[in-house]
């Protein structure tokens, strides 16, 4: 296409300059031939208008001014004004922004100088063969700049979309990892602790050993049910919305598993939004799992308070009175828990308490559905 365009420019130059000059009669003087050669050269400069538009505009304009000075030595075909139109168009395309206004003023000054040099040429003719071309080039340039800006914006939006998609995938993976950590970590912790107890009691107290193995089986079934519910949720299947009764269930299971745990509810329990109830449940579950790992035999106290505009969940355990079972955590439990709480706009505080125990306290937004809270 570029090659075809160059051929077209050469043919146009021949049609508007060489052919009319030949029909009129080719000049026989040296200066006449110089005049025609410069006129042809001004048209041929358009061959480089794409790569060097500013050079084309300046050199072409200089050649036309030189032709005006040689006006008495050569013959000028009227069809050559087509070259002036094209040079004015290239001039408008060559500069943008504030520079375009400066170039427009420079073009007006150039035409005035050209008119003064030519003398007998009408200023209307000069304006007709330059100003429309300049405006046409300005319109083309503005359209191209708008298209380039839209293309750039499109690329930026595509990059942002890909970035958001990547962040969404990372967030979803982190959420799934946290869910799996809570489900599997709690179930395995209970099973390992009960299995160790069962091994010690199998010969000394078969009845208590049987209870330990029953707790293992129950924990395995509960873990299986939780995993199944997670799979259904990820698959798009509707599942029952969680509520604070899940906290009672996990506390009851932990108590049956040998943990000295108590639970107390204060304030309102009903109508809590599912995300808030789910995070509250995970806070209790993770805290009980850590108590099983790091404070075996210690008393654990769970308090859930929904009486204010916020829901607070507090879990405290005393100092460990038994040998730890050697269950190492992944380090992701509290980190993932903090991320979940912060996503809801809440706060999570963890740390030691006097006496050597540990406390986990989560403050969550009210989250109750409209109309469910009493006045």
- The residues pairing with 364 across neighbouring beta strands, listed in sequence order, are 311
Q: Are residues 56 and 113 in the same domain?
A: yes
Q: Are residues 124 and 186 in the same domain?
A: no
What whole-number percentage of the chain has pLDDT above 70? 80
Structural domain harbouring 257:
175-365
Residue 220's contacts (CB-CB under 8 Å, 6 or more residues apart) are 187, 191
The secondary structure element, H or E, covering residue 300 is strand 299-306
Question: What does the mean pLDDT of the chain come to?
Answer: 82
CA angle 349, 181, 321 (to 5 degrees): 60
Buried b (16+ CB within 10 A) or exposed e, 25-42: eebeeeebebbbebbbeb
Q: Looking at per-residue confidence, does 290 or 323 come out higher?
A: 290
Assigned domain for 141 exists: no
Domain boundary among 114, 129, 144: 129
Return the DSSP state at 357: E
Structure tokens at 264: 């107390």
DSSP codes joined into one string, 68-93: HHTTTTS---GGGHHHHHHHHHHHHH
Question: How many helices (H) and strands (E) are present in the chain, helices listed first?
Answer: 12, 5
Q: Give pLDDT, residue 267.
A: 83
Residue 79's contacts (CB-CB under 8 Å, 6 or more residues apart) are 15, 16, 17, 20
Q: Are residues 114 and 21 in the same domain?
A: yes
Assigned domain for 21 exists: yes
Assigned domain for 334 exists: yes
State pTM to two decimals.
0.52
Number of structural domains, the chain? 2
Q: What is the pLDDT of residues 202-256, one digit of tens each?
A: 677 777 677 767 767 776 776 666 677 667 656 655 555 667 888 888 888 788 7
Q: Using an 8 Å Cβ cutoff, are 90 and 47 in contact? A: no
Residue 307's contacts (CB-CB under 8 Å, 6 or more residues apart) are 266, 267, 268
Q: What is the pLDDT of residues 259-286, one digit of tens each?
A: 889 999 988 777 788 888 888 988 998 8
Assigned domain for 52 exists: yes
Q: Using an 8 Å Cβ cutoff, are 252 and 240 in contact? A: no
Q: Are residues 120 and 255 in the same domain?
A: no
Distance CA 273, CA 241 (A): 9
Parallel/antiparallel/unpaired status of strands 310-317 and 357-365: antiparallel
């Amino acid at each position: 296409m570029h090659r075809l365009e160059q051929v077209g420019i050469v043919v146009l130059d021949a049609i508007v300059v060489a052919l009319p000059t030949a029909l009129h009669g080719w000049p026989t003087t040296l200066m006449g031939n110089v005049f025609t050669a410069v006129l042809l050269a001004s048209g041929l400069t358009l061959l480089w208008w794409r790569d060097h538009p500013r050079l084309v505009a300046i050199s072409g304009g200089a050649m036309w001014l030189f032709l005006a000075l040689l006006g008495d030595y050569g013959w000028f075909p009227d069809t050559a004004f087509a070259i002036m139109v094209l040079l004015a168009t290239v001039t408008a395309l060559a500069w943008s922004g504030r520079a375009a206004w400066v170039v427009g003023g420079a073009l007006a000054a150039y035409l005035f100088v050209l008119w003064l040099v030519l003398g007998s040429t009408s200023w209307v003719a000069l304006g007709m063969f330059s100003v429309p071309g300049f405006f046409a080039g300005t319109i083309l340039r503005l359209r191209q700049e708008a298209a380039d800006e839209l293309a750039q914006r499109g690329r930026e939006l595509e990059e942002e979309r890909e970035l958001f998609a990547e962040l969404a995938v990372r967030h979803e993976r982190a959420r799934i990892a946290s869910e799996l950590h809570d489900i599997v970590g709690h179930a395995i912790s209970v099973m390992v602790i009960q299995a160790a107890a069962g091994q010690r009691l199998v010969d000394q107290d078969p009845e208590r050993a049987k209870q330990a193995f029953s707790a293992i089986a129950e924990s395995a079934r509960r873990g299986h049910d939780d995993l199944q519910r997670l799979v259904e949720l990820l698959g798009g299947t509707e599942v029952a919305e969680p509520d604070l009764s899940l906290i009672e269930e996990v506390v009851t299971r932990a108590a049956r598993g040998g943990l000295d745990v108590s639970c107390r509810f204060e304030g309102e329990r009903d109508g809590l939004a599912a995300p808030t109830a789910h995070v509250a449940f995970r806070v209790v579950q993770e805290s009980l799992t850590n108590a099983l790992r790091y404070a075996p035999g210690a008393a654990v106290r769970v308090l859930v308070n929904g009486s204010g505009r916020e829901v607070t969940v507090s879990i405290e355990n005393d100092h460990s009175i038994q040998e730890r079972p050697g269950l190492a955590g992944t380090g992701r439990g509290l980190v993932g828990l903090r991320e979940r709480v912060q996503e809801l706009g809440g706060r999570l505080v963890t740390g030691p308490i006097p006496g050597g125990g540990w406390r986990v306290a989560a403050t969550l937004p009210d989250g109750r559905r409209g109309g469910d809270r009493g006045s």
